[in-house]
Structure 1
Amino acid sequence: MTDRHPLDLPELRPLWSAVHGRLSTGRPVSRVRSGPLDEAGREALADLLGLDRLPGAEPTIPLAGLDSAVLDACGRPVRDVVTAILGPIHDRAAERHHRTGQREALWAWLAGHEVVTVQPALLDWVGHLRAGGLVDGSPERTRGLLTAALTVLHALPADGEPLPVLAARLLDGDSHALDDGTRLSSLVLRALAVLYGTDVPDAAEGRRALWSRAGVADDELSAAVLAAGLRPVGEGPVAMISRICAGAGHPVSLTLAQLRTPGEFTGPAGPVHITENPSVLALALRRFGSHCPPLVCTSGWPNTAVIHLLRRLADDGASLHYHGDFDGEGIRIAAHVMARTGAAPWRMTADDYRATAPRVPFGPDPGRLTPAPWDRSLIDSMTESRTAVVEEVVADLLLDDLAAHLHG
């Protein structure tokens, strides 16, 4: 059994607790207020300090005088005495500073993560999470959860996998990690809602719809992509149907089920242009007919079939070039497509916007604007003009570019 410190007297415990607490603040301490002391405590304190009268029930004691008295009594400074009696003295100020530094480093890491920087709309998600604070007050636990969420977001849109299969593949075999109601599932769904510009769903049906929009458990037949001018090599149905439609000057609609068939086709190795709106594809077919160059349409936010085809074309050596609407939603879609497929911007710079905005002097408001990763000045120009320029307004310029590639 460990011997008690000679000054560890029950009647002095309120004094030692007060001293320990004040020293643990990490701030300079000159006086300590103790108490309430009972009669025995007042007598013990008077004896320790060598007073000729009893102190009050809640005395304020100069720390230097107490330190001197303690040194005389036991040969050790007061800091050593309270440490021996009550345990280590903490530096709460330094600990608060350290925790603040950890939090700031965590949020800076999240804001600078590749998943966020390539889709800056997610900065709103970062802001919401920061306002909500740490998970269980722990930077380490929060970072672990965010790492899992970023892993899932990086893999979306998915390739039609059921949610448990996606979770098991990405999250160490845990097929329940993204179950409805889990903290991780809520984090990812909030990010998707911010990305797609929708409200966070409060019902299970809405959450399933949001997962489906991100390519999770997509219907292989209803998820389809519209294209024109594709002449892939191969003897399978996808290659043959695409070539027949291209030769006839017609568009082709390819389902996810068709595109998933292994080894069906090899895409063109040259440029493939991508538009957001089907009307531009229709205008291209009207102008070029059976000579239409390769063109893929996302039809707004791309589904799994769109991303699957574009990635397949890129893997086969195609260079992808994307154009969409100059409005808030169009910029977010463009960032999403470029991040997921490696496409380059096509007439999507600030200079392009400023050159075409005068075509619609009384155009619609562009809505909520988020940064364009490929041109940081684009949103500044759009904010200043507050005019949306949809693809159809610049269709003639896009078709001229396609003609130049066709005859180049």
Structure 2
Amino acid sequence: MTARHTLDRPALAPLWRAVHDRLSSGRPVATITLDGLGEDTREALADLLGLDRLPGTRTTLNLDRLDRALRESLDTDVRTVVQTIRGPLGNRTATREQANADRSALWQWLMTHPMVTAQPALADWTATVKANGLIGGSAATTRTVLTQALTVLAALPADGQPLPDFAANILGSAHALDDNTRLSGLVLRALAALHDTTPPASAAQRRALWAQAGIADDALSSTVLTAGLRPGGDGPVAACLRAYSTAGHATHLTLAQLRNPGELGWRNRTVHVFENPSIIALALRRFGAQCPPLVCTSGWPNSAVTLLLRQLAAAGAPLRYHGDFDGEGIRIAAHVIAATGAEPWRMSTTDYQGALPSHGDNPPVGRVTEAPWDPDLATALHQHEAAVHEEHTAATLMNALAHHVHTVAGQGSNDA
């Protein structure tokens, strides 16, 4: 093999290797230390530098002296020689600084992502992701995988699709969320954080958590409780809803009905959304056939709930959400708001403080995360350490609904 340079000789290989490594540090270099030198290398160094005696097996060379020797003998410099023999010089300092900047930018992007800021319960998840470090040691790879995970979370809860179908629709690959993949694990840990449960450790637990997120729900058993909905369409679902509302009854819509309802003709009247079925029962008792449009999430919304709320929002109906004042209730509210575009209704710090019981044993608030719509609410919950369940505010809610019904009647608006 032809040498690339007249000084590209085995005896000088330790020298060029050490010089290339030090100059690639990206820092100023004044000396080079060589250790464990054989006699042939020591002789070659003495010849190259014009020394009157051999250097020791461990020796420190002045880089300026080496540079002068090369200029005098070959009219070249040390950088040119070492790059010809060993290849381009690197800059480890700049590479390290860029890697640190990329890593900082990645975590800042994650912490401020709309999905994370909209649902502060994900803060623990993001902290765990950051603590686990970069995937494959790469900020770019990590961002790609996290982008996929956040895309999945934004699309949940699903409308009861099987997991492969959901993955194909959202990510373009039916196997993207297969069991035990890195991406699947990230999403499931995020869902566990949202639901305040431990990450699933078995296949059965993973299936159960996916089901809570609307994956592979039974289209007949996934239902949503409603009252007072009066769509104007001629389809069978619209006709049934009008009939039940006229009779002052609630009804459950199945996911299957919402997927294939016929003509609905949703109208754009405000729809109040509650967390607990007891509020729907109280509203029907008070308003009967005059009950305003109501939807119940029954805790965490399933596929049918989310699909109905999204249909209503798409038709222009304003959604107003109310739920429990405790840790779980705040997380559910944040989830509904992020998933459907609903607005919080009577869910402020002032509402909470006004509803606090003056005496008695108060139920615990549980794990509290930030409320995106009111930065003081989490602080108030921590301060009082008392939950206020939706049923406790029922009288206030019914009076507010009565005022709303009266206002709408005076305006002559149609029901949703």
Q: Under a length normalisation based on structure 2, what TM-score does the superposition of the two structures give?
A: 0.93
Question: Contact 1:277–1:298 at 8 Å: present in 2 too?
Answer: yes
Aligned to 1:371, the other structure's residue is in SS state: coil
Tell me, yes or no, if structure 1 residue 127 matches structure 2 residue 120. no
Aligned to 2:356, the other structure's residue is in SS state: helix
Distance, in Å, in 2 between the alignment partners of 1:299 and 1:258 is 19
Question: Contact 2:237–2:261 at 8 Å: present in 1 too?
Answer: no
Shift of 1:4: 2.9
Shift of 1:325: 0.9
Q: Under a length normalisation based on structure 1, what TM-score does the superposition of the two structures give?
A: 0.94
Aligned to 2:13, the other structure's residue is in SS state: helix
**Mapping for residues 307-346 of structure 1, pairs under 5 Å:** 307-346=306-345
Shift of 1:81: 1.4
Between the aligned residues of both structures, percent identity stands at: 57
Question: Contact 2:30–2:64 at 8 Å: present in 1 too?
Answer: yes
| Amino acid of the structure 1 residue aligned with 2:119 | Q
**Mapping for residues 346-361 of structure 1, pairs under 5 Å:** 346-359=345-358
**Mapping for residues 7-406 of structure 1, pairs under 5 Å:** 7-172=7-172, 174-359=173-358, 362-406=361-405
> Unaligned 5+ residue runs, structure 2?
408-416
> Unaligned 5+ residue runs, structure 1?
none
Aligned to 1:14, the other structure's residue is in SS state: helix
| Paired positions, count | 407
Aligned to 1:60, the other structure's residue is in SS state: strand
Distance, in Å, in 2 between the alignment partners of 1:369 and 1:65 is 67
Shift of 1:365: 2.7
Shift of 1:177: 1.4
Which deviations, in whole Å up to 9, do the C-alpha atoms of 1:276-304 show, x marking residues without a partner?
A: 11122222222222222111110100001
Distance, in Å, in 2 between the alignment partners of 1:395 and 1:321 is 16
Shift of 1:48: 2.1
Shift of 1:357: 2.9
Question: Contact 1:328–1:369 at 8 Å: present in 2 too?
Answer: yes
Distance, in Å, in 2 between the alignment partners of 1:282 and 1:137 is 55
Distance, in Å, in 2 between the alignment partners of 1:329 and 1:78 is 67
Distance, in Å, in 1 between the alignment partners of 2:373 and 2:226 is 25
Point out the more displaced range, 230-239 or 218-227.
230-239
Question: Contact 1:159–1:215 at 8 Å: present in 2 too?
Answer: yes
Distance, in Å, in 2 between the alignment partners of 1:208 and 1:264 is 34
Could you say which structure has the greater relative contact order, defined with CA pairs below 8 angstroms and 6 or more residues apart? 2
Distance, in Å, in 1 between the alignment partners of 2:52 and 2:336 is 84
Distance, in Å, in 1 between the alignment partners of 2:7 and 2:359 is 86
Aligned to 2:225, the other structure's residue is in SS state: strand
Shift of 1:102: 1.2
Shift of 1:330: 0.8
Question: Contact 1:30–1:62 at 8 Å: present in 2 too?
Answer: yes
Where in structure 1 do 4 or more consecutive aligned residues deviate above 6 Å?
A: none
Aligned to 1:146, the other structure's residue is in SS state: helix
Point out the more displaced range, 30-39 or 264-273.
264-273
Distance, in Å, in 2 between the alignment partners of 1:300 and 1:262 is 25
Shift of 1:240: 3.1
Which deviations, in whole Å up to 9, do the C-alpha atoms of 1:39-74 show, x marking residues without a partner?
A: 121122122222222211010122222222222222
Superposition RMSD in Å: 1.8
Distance, in Å, in 1 between the alignment partners of 2:24 and 2:352 is 60
